[in-house]
Structure formats: C-alpha cells, structure tokens
Structure 1
Amino acid sequence: MSDKTRRVVSVLVENESSVLSRVSGLFAGRGYNIETLTVAPVPDTNRSRITIVTKGSQRVLEQITKQLHKLIPIHKVVEHEEMVEKEMVLAKFPITESLADIQALCDAYNGEIVNVGSDMIIGMAADEPIRIKHFIEASSRYNPIEIVRGGVVAIER
C-alpha cells in the first residue's frame, strides 16, 4: 500500500446476521488491516453503526467504499476528514498506587475512577484516540495490572 494514511469509515447497516463479516471481508480481501472496529445499534431503529479505523491509500479505500455501497444491508458509508472521534479505555491499577494520582490522571483525560476494590482501582478515560494513547503511556508509571482499550466511535461534523 502506498500513502498509508489513517482513515475512519462509518457504515450504517441493517442490524442482521452476517453483515459484519461481509463488511470486514471487504477490507480483508483488499489486504487492509482493521485497527479498531466498533459496532453498536442506532437508537430507535433496526440499524447499527460500524466504525472502522484503518490505514491505507485513498484509491484502495475508495474501491472498498464503492463495494460497501453494493452490499444490500448498507444504508450509508461515510469516509470523511471532518469526523469527531472518541475512544474509551479502562485501566486496572494495584490498590497500593495513589488513588489521588490515578484520579488526577483520569480527570486529565475526561475520565474518572469507576471502581475501587480491596486490591485494585479501575480508572476510565474517554477522549480522542491520540489522547487515549497518551493516557496509556502516562498510566505506565502507576503499574497497571490490565488495560482494555475500546474502539473508536465517530460522527461526521
């Protein structure tokens, strides 16, 4: 692939079986790796929104977009520069770490402490994907036990 540019594609589909496999199959068939994939129902409809983040050339992505339009349950495909993107991450820290420091870290990335147990603290952050990357890097100083990163959700501006 030439021009490996980050791309966000949002696809509005009928909420039915095998749609996700057909959509992801188009990317796999072109040799594109899907970096993140998020699927969720659209409220008060029988549709779902699939948000895909990938890297590649504009030319190949245009081919994929054209083929996506040919899939019967597809209603809309948006691949646009002006998308508002957010991602969420959960991080589990040992209880021996400073609760105040972890709270401050989460606050800095639009997050909060979501659970405290007898042996762990779970923090959450929800921000732009690059800031989530920075949250993960910054959290390393607090010895995370586990980090779970969600996929990107996006909406056209």
Structure 2
Amino acid sequence: MNNFNHFYDSEERREVLSIIVVNRDSVLSRIVDLFSARGYNIDSLTVAPIPNSEYSRITVITVGIARTIDQIVKQLNKLVPVLKVTEHRDVIEKDTVLIKIPLDQSLSDIDVLARAYNGAIQNVTDDAIVISATDDPARILNFIKVIEKYNPIEIVRSGVVAMER
C-alpha cells in the first residue's frame, strides 16, 4: 500500500447515504441496529415514504474512514428489506430548523435574520415567535449559533434530506 492510499484510508470523511427500503415495520430499527452494533455514528437520519410506491427513502449522514464507510454500505446491502444503497458524491442537501423565541425580542430583527437563512416567521403567540429556516446543513448550524443571542426557548431540527444533482 502506498502512502496516498494509507492516508486516504485513514482520513475521516462525511458520507451521505440514501437507502431505499421496503416500507414495513421494523426496517428502520434493523438499520439503526446495524449502525449501533458496529459502533458507527449517525449524524443525521431522515425517513419518508417514496410517493406512489411501497418503498421509503432513508437518508443517513455518517462520518468515518473510507474502510468504515465501505463496511457500512456492504452491511446495509445485506439487509433483506434494503433494495439499494447510494453513496452520494454531488448532492443538494437541505436541513430544516424550527426555533421558538420569546416574544420580548424584536420581531423585525428576527424576521430579517430568518430570511437571511431562507426562513420566515411561522407563528406568533402571546409569548413566543416560531421561525423556520431551510438551508444547507452548515448554514443551519450557523443560523442556530447566531440565533442564540435571542435566547431561544426551543430548537428542533429535521435532519438532512439529500438528492443527487
């Protein structure tokens, strides 16, 4: 093995996997168990049925060295309800966040900030403002950091969805 291959094999990378599965009970549990049993981390996990089919798409974001990622893909492909595993190379990724902020904050400042991250005010109650934003996962992380100065009451993220370009 030359030095380049050794370096490549030992360098951690972030991987976006799309897993097409038969939509039935316990499939998600089996996939999560596979990751858990082998000590693989899941950074993000989203699941949704594929319209007009009996299948679902599971999008998993994980980080690991090339050998670990290859092992994950091989193990996923061995699971019976799994039809296809795709390792994405050139993807559009989106993450959504809902944030509840106390109403004592400036509504116009929050609106401007949300719009900067492809977001908007979704709801205003007597005591809170709920905003949402959908953007690249790194930008959503930045948005969450920026919004911290407004003392959020609650922050909920959706998880990443991805599609090959």
TM class by shorter chain equals: over 0.9
* 1:59 lines up with 2:67 in the alignment: yes
Shift of 1:4: 2.4
* 1:88 lines up with 2:57 in the alignment: no
Matches within 5 A, 1:23-62: 23-62=31-70
Look up the SS of the partner of 1:34 in the other structure.
Answer: coil
Look up the SS of the partner of 1:51 in the other structure.
Answer: strand
- With the length of structure 1 as denominator, give the TM-score of the two structures: 0.95
Q: Deviations over 1:105-149 (max 9, x none)?
A: 110111100000010000000001000001001101111111111
1:147 equivalent in structure 2: 155
1:3 equivalent in structure 2: 11
Look up the SS of the partner of 2:59 in the other structure.
Answer: strand
Shift of 1:3: 2.4
- Measure, in 2, the Cα distance between the counterparts of 1:54 and 1:64: 10
- Measure, in 1, the Cα distance between the counterparts of 2:47 and 2:80: 18
Higher Cα radius of gyration: 2
The question of whether the paired residues in 2 share the 8 Å contact of 1:30 and 1:60 is answered with: no
Deviating runs (4+, > 3 A) in structure 1?
none
Q: Deviations over 1:21-78 (max 9, x none)?
A: 1111221222111111111111111111101111101111111111211212112111
Matches within 5 A, 1:90-129: 90-129=98-137
Of 116-125 and 72-81, deviating more is: 72-81
- Aligned-residue RMSD, C-alpha: 1.3
Gaps of 5+ in 1: none
Look up the SS of the partner of 2:43 in the other structure.
Answer: strand
Query: Percent same amino acid among aligned pairs?
Result: 54
**One-letter amino acid of the counterpart of residue 8, structure 1:** V
* 1:134 lines up with 2:152 in the alignment: no
- Measure, in 2, the Cα distance between the counterparts of 1:34 and 1:2: 19
- Measure, in 1, the Cα distance between the counterparts of 2:146 and 2:80: 44
